[in-house]
Amino acid sequence: MKIKKLIYMLALLPLLVGCDENQEVRSKSFIKEIGADYSDSQQISLRLFGSDETVSGSGKTLFSAIGNCENKQNKSLFSGHLEVFAVSPENMTDNLMTLLANNRISPSCYVLCVPEDAAGFVEESGGELAELIETNGRSGIIVTKNINAVINDYLEDDGKSAVPAVKDGKLTMAVTGENELIGLLTEEESRGLCWLCGTVEDIYIPLETKDFKTDFYVRKINTRIRAEQSGEKINIIIEIKINGNSQNDSIDTETIKKHTAELVSSLCSRTIAKTVTGMKADLFGIEKSISAARIDIGKNWEETIPYLNFYYKIKIAE
């Protein structure tokens, strides 16, 4: 019996083939950021963890370009901990689909649209892109997006997605379609989108009237998009519950609430005018709310837009 067991164990020994090509951690480099441009081929720049330098390379596909970068330094590259994927809009969809299918890149990594010279932007950014995106996201300036979220948006009927983008060195939101940039949002429109997506928390809103000037502190918000059928029209009700308080106790609370609600609804309406009416994009789940309410007017997204009416319900609680 013992001999039988020994034979089993010995027979298993040659199966330990995984040990022959093992790689030590010190012989690997971990990619932190990728900037990818596309003209005839992929031009990329990589920033590695623990390094101030960037490595550039090119190739017909994204992974052949990464392979080209690997040949320019002495370590094998590992992309599993990628933080930011900065990409030009020309082949954004294709690149993201490649990353999704490949499974070697963390799908949690942030996507950043750089309309011109994404590789150059990564080289000049100083390696703090993830932190920059997170800070702007927290401040209600942009809505952070990972690969999953962007592709999910592309698969909706409108086929468009809002992606953080770089405009004049600042972060804002861009509306992108399949491998194309539809347009960039202004700072206010981008902030409006954050309110519509419910990603605002821990920020101060400056309130300024003839009578007073103060800040309203927003602890957190909860945005809910609801659809109701009203005859031929569909009412989209945007409910935003704000938890926060004024920084000036001497001003009447109701006045502050009224001004805050006006400011928020004005930001939202500007964003809706630009994105929904102008760009025909559904960036904050309008279709999903219509579907959840089981409303079917037998029209596709673009045909539905003229039938939409938007209403705002801003509730402020201290």
User: What are the residues binding another protein (CB under 8 A)?
Assistant: 8, 11-12, 15, 17-18, 80-83, 100, 102-104, 106-109, 130, 146, 148, 151-152, 155-156, 225, 285, 288-289, 291-292, 294
Quote the CA–CA distance of 162 and 154 in Å, as a whole number: 10
CB 182 → another protein: shortest distance, Å? 20
CB of 28 to another protein, least distance (A): 13
Q: Return the number of the residue (108 or 309) whose C-beta is nearest another protein.
A: 108
What's the DSSP call for residue 83?
A: -
Nearest to another protein of 108, 253 (CB atom): 108
**Residue 93 or residue 246: which is nearer to another protein going by CB?**
93
For 43, the token pair is 């031009």
**Distance (Å, whole) CA 180 – CA 115:** 10
Distance of closest approach, residue 188 Cβ to another protein, in angstroms: 25
User: Both tokens of residue 307?
Assistant: 């039938």
* 143 closest CA partner among 101, 192, 102: 192
Q: Running DSSP on this structure, what letter comes out for residue 48?
A: E
Minimal distance, residue 156 CB to another protein, in Å: 7
- Residue pair 185/274 in contact (Cβ under 8 Å)? The answer is yes
Nearest-approach distance from CB 206 to another protein, in angstroms: 29
Contacts of 109 (CB under 8 A, 6+ apart): 82, 83, 84, 85, 146, 147
Q: Which is nearer to another protein, 78 or 307 (CB)?
A: 78
Closer to another protein by Cβ: residue 27 or 103: 103
Element (H, E) at 263: helix 253-272
